[in-house]
A and B are shown apart, each in its own frame.
Chain A
Amino acid sequence: MQANTKQTEHKRNIFLKKIFGSQNFGDLIFERLTLLFAVFVFLLVILMGYEMYIGSKISIEKFGWSFLTNSVWDPVQEIYGALPIIYGTVVSSFLALILSVPLSIGIAIFLSELSPGWLEKPLSFLVELLAGIPSVVYGLWGIFVLVPWIRNDVEPFLSERLGFLPFFRGAPYGFGMLAAVLILSIMVLPIVASISRDILKSVPQSQREAALALGATRWQSTKIVLKDARSGIFGATMLGLGRAVGETMAVTMVIGNRALISPSLFDPAYTMASVIANEFSEATSDMYLSALIQLALVLFVITIFINAFAKLLVWSMERKLGTR
């Protein structure tokens, strides 16, 4: 009896091996099962892109590339040009990076090169805590704390001292590009800082020791480390950019929400994500909805490129250093 079942099992295994070329039926099922989920993720991303493409078809057909270059966003005439919105997205993200990247690198240097071990953990934790605050809470804080401060103190000060520059002209609303830039720079900071720190730490200790042994100062050895980590830090910056470009709630709550191209940081602006948040559930016509979905598609494609680029940089960096 026992031998009999064993024999049939053996026969079955041979049979299965013939069909599937695999050693074990269970293994095969298991592999296929996990594969199924991996395929699901694969299809999900494809489906997302496809769904948005279908949803935005009538707008793509009507406006073509002028969607990206036309500066009129007018739901009454049904003309949709996203240029001011793209402008707002790009400017707010880049200015935020200009503010936060030097700070982030400073933090990363402090955490990886200077800080004593007992301080590093809690400090890293605090920086990561910044990343854990929900976007909407940043927005709440923005509306009630940051914006009044900007309106009453920052903007009057800037327009008095630097008012000759076109960037600091106009009425101090508080709400506007400046508020969005500040809040974005705070939100991007923990991402860039923590990835940069990891990257700096992955530079082999021997590099520093060699430099120090040759009589270099701390800063000089840090510079060598930074040079090694260049592309990785750039990748971290790109990841921060990806976050800034797609950030929705906090920006929507403080940016003033108007499709406008203006050099002044005091003026209101609009970003792709905040247009969608504001107008999506209220778009009345098919064309309007389609234009908004197209905006989502553009945002999707941009973030894919940014993230892909960032990942490539970080990977190449890790490969170069041959970590782990």
Chain B
Amino acid sequence: MKFQKIISALFLTVAFSMLTHAQLQLNGAGATFPYVIYSKWFDEYKKETGVQFNYQSIGSGGGIKQVIEGTVDFGASDGPMTDQQLADAQKKQGTTILHIPTVMGADVVCYNVSGISKGLNLDGETLSNIFLGKIIKWNDGRIKKLNPKINLPNKSIVVAHRSDGSGTTFIFTDYLTKVSKEWETKVGKGTSVNWPVGLGGKGNEGVAGLVKQMDGAIGYVELAYAVQNKIHYAAMKNKSGNFVEAEFASVSAAAEGASKNMPEDLRVSITDADGKDAYPISGFTWLLVYQNMKNEAKANALVKFLKWSMKKGQTYASGLYYAPLPKAVVKMCEKKIDLITANGKKIK
């Protein structure tokens, strides 16, 4: 009978899959912010070595959570783990979590307003007012003041934000907290916050999708998503009073100051950084790895990959709109990578 054939075929698939042993695969999950470069890295790395890194972009919040629960081999986040979270992980997994910065990126404030192409200027105060729901029209006086040359339409502003836990949100709200007292008291910073206004989209791609589909929309996404989707994004006024567009140079400028006094555990915020060319909504993105891993083969593979990412991996960054790590930070990372052990044994 046909039906029985189908069923037995299904059973066979199951049985077969239980018997076969594919090559080594490591599973990771977390931030969507570096998803583009990670998928490129893992693809290239698989071609070179045959080792598979399966990475699912479920959001930084998810990355942290799964690392604490031990459901992944490594996590990824754009917001560093809090001390509490590190302690939880230590308790549940019995090992320290290392933060390894991989690349840097920028959150851009992207918009879709018919009639306005490139070149919108914004500052922190105005931006926080838009996201607080206090500025609701594009032709509001406060936006006009920053953009005297642009003919702003009398159109409602549609705010788009992330609906999931996200490091992109962390960097963005970290910035708004630094520049606006009201934001700090009313909303605060975190991987997910209680948004005063707006529509929620899942993932960078969700927000980019929302902005792209709606006239009058404003949102924040990681630079690569805005560029690849040809969405316009605003120049932001930095601490020195200059309007700066997000690009490698301005992100690196933000990192430069930070790399000088980098904390030992590499958890650092570089939003609203000093420096006259520094782009103010910049941040590192981290891989979260267990200092002591139980599976030696996996530990070996991960260390090899991390070292690869610090050298060859960095060369892919600029092509995909990420800023490569400053040399000094790479050195610090390599030291960290050497700390990884398998069941207490050093990895050669």
Are chains A and B touching in the complex at the 8 Å CB cutoff? Answer: yes
When C-beta atoms are compared, the residue in chain B nearest to A176 turns out to be: B199
Whether, in the assembled complex, A257 has its beta carbon less than 8 Å from a beta carbon of chain B, the answer is yes
* B102 beta carbon closer than 8 Å to chain A: no
B156, CB-defined interface residue at 8 Å: yes
- Residue with the greatest number of chain B CB neighbours at <10 A, chosen from A148, A176, A257: A257
- B214, A282: Cβ atoms under 8 Å? no
CA distance A289 to B62 in the complex (A): 11
**Which of B47-55, B190-198, B238-246, B308-316 binds A?**
B190-198
Q: Interface residues of A, CB < 8 Å — how many?
A: 31
Q: Is B129 in the interface zone, CB < 8 Å from A?
A: no
Contact partner, B165, options A148, A256, A258, A282, Cβ 8 Å: A282
**Chain A residues within 8 Å of B156, by CB:** 171
Report A280-320 CB contacts with B as 1/0, cut-off 8 Å: 01111110010000000000000000000000000000000
B200 at the interface (CB under 8 A from A): yes
Question: Per-residue CB proximity of A13-38 to B under 8 Å, as 1/0?
Answer: 00000000000000000000000000
The CA-CA distance from A289 to B71 in the complex, in Å, is: 15
Residue of A nearest to B195 (CB): A258
Interfacial chain A residues near B195, Cβ < 8 Å: 258
A75 at the interface (CB under 8 A from B): yes
Binary contact track A257-271/B, C-beta < 8 Å → 1, others 0: 111000000001010
A73-B214 Cα distance, complex, nearest whole Å: 26
Which residues of chain A are within 8 angstroms of B106 by Cβ–Cβ distance? none
* Residue interface bits A146-169, CB-to-B below 8 A is 1, else 0: 011001000000000000000000
Interface of chain A, main secondary structure? loop
Compute how far the CA of A258 lies from the CA of B164 in the bound complex, rounded to whole angstroms: 11
Which residues of B, 259-301, contact A by the 8 Å Cβ criterion?
none
Determine how close the nearest CB of chain A comes to the CB of B165; give it in whole angstroms. Answer: 4
- How far apart sit A198 and B65, CA to CA, in the bound complex (Å)? 48
Is A279 part of the binding interface, using a Cβ–Cβ cutoff of 8 Å?
yes
Contacts known (A282-B192, A283-B61); A173 close to B164, Cβ less than 8 A = no
Asked if residues B158 and A171 are in contact (CB atoms below 8 Å), the reply is: yes
With a cutoff of 8 Å between Cβ atoms, the chain B residues found around residue A119 in the complex are: none
Asked if B59 and A282 sit within 8 Å, CB to CB, the answer is: yes
Known: A282-B62, A283-B65. A257 touches B200 (CB 8 A): yes
Instruction: Kindly report which residue of chain B lies nearest to residue A259, judged by CB atoms.
Output: B194
Cβ contact within 8 Å between B65 and A278: no
Nearest CB of chain B from residue A283's CB, rounded to whole Å: 6
Q: Are B194's CB and A258's CB within 8 A?
A: no
Digitize B179-201: 1 where CB-to-A-CB distance is under 8 Å, 0 elsewhere.
00000000111111111001111
Bound complex: CA A259 to CA B199 (Å): 10
- Judge whether A77 is part of the interface by a CB distance below 8 angstroms: yes
Partner of B198, one of A74, A258, A279: A258
Query: In whole angstroms, what is the CA distance A128 to B24 when docked?
Result: 45
Q: Quick check: B210 and A175 within 8 Å, CB to CB?
A: yes
- Assess A77 versus B194: contact at CB under 8 Å? Given A258-B199, A283-B165: yes
Question: A257-B163, A257-B200, A278-B163 known; A75 and B192 CB under 8 Å?
Answer: yes
Contact B85 A258 (CB under 8 A): no
Does A232 interact with chain B (Cβ within 8 Å)? Answer: no
What 1/0 mask marks residues of chain A from 164 to 200 whose CB sits below 8 Å from any chain B CB? 0000000101111000000000000000000000000
- A282 and B164 within 8 A (CB): yes
The minimal Cβ–Cβ distance linking A284 to chain B, given in whole angstroms, is 5
Contact partner of A281 among B65, B158, B193, CB < 8 A? B65
User: Nearest Cβ distance between residue B186 and chain A, in whole angstroms?
Assistant: 11
The residue from B61, B198, B213 contacting A148, defined by CB atoms under 8 A apart: B213
Q: A75-B192, A174-B213, A257-B163 in contact; A282/B199 too (CB < 8 A)?
A: no
Chain B positions within 8 Å of A148 at CB level: 213
In the assembled complex, B216 has its CB within 8 A of some CB on chain A: yes
Cross-chain contact of A289 among B65, B188, B202 (Cβ < 8 A): B65
- Cβ of A151: which chain B residues have Cβ within 8 Å of it? 213-214
Q: Does A99 contact B (CB under 8 A)?
A: no
Contacts A151-B214, A173-B158 given: A258-B163 contact, CB under 8 Å? yes
Given contacts A76-B187, A76-B188, A284-B61, contact A279 B164 (CB under 8 A): yes
Which residues of chain B are near A171, meaning CB under 8 Å? 156, 158, 216
Q: Residue B58 at the A interface, CB < 8 A? A: yes
The distance in angstroms between the C-alpha atoms of A284 and B169, with both chains bound, is 14
Does B64 touch A at the CB level, under 8 Å? Answer: yes
Interchain CA distance A285-B158 in the complex, whole Å? 30
Q: Is the CB of B64 within 8 A of A284?
A: yes
Cβ contact of B200, chosen from A77, A143, A258, A286, cutoff 8 A = A258
B194 touches A72 (CB 8 A): yes
Q: How near does chain B come to A291, taking the closest CB pair, in angstroms?
A: 12
Assuming A270-B200, A281-B59, what are 11 further A-B pairs, CB within 8 angstroms?
A76-B189, A173-B214, A175-B199, A176-B199, A257-B163, A257-B199, A259-B194, A279-B165, A281-B66, A285-B85, A286-B88
Closest A-B pairs by Cβ, 5 of them: A257-B200, A282-B62, A74-B194, A282-B165, A282-B61
A–B complex contacts, Cβ < 8 Å, 5 sampled: A75-B193, A279-B164, A281-B58, A282-B192, A285-B84
Q: Which residues of B are at the interface with A, using a C-beta cutoff of 8 A?
A: 29, 58-62, 64-66, 68, 84-85, 88, 156, 158, 163-166, 187-195, 198-202, 209-210, 213-214, 216
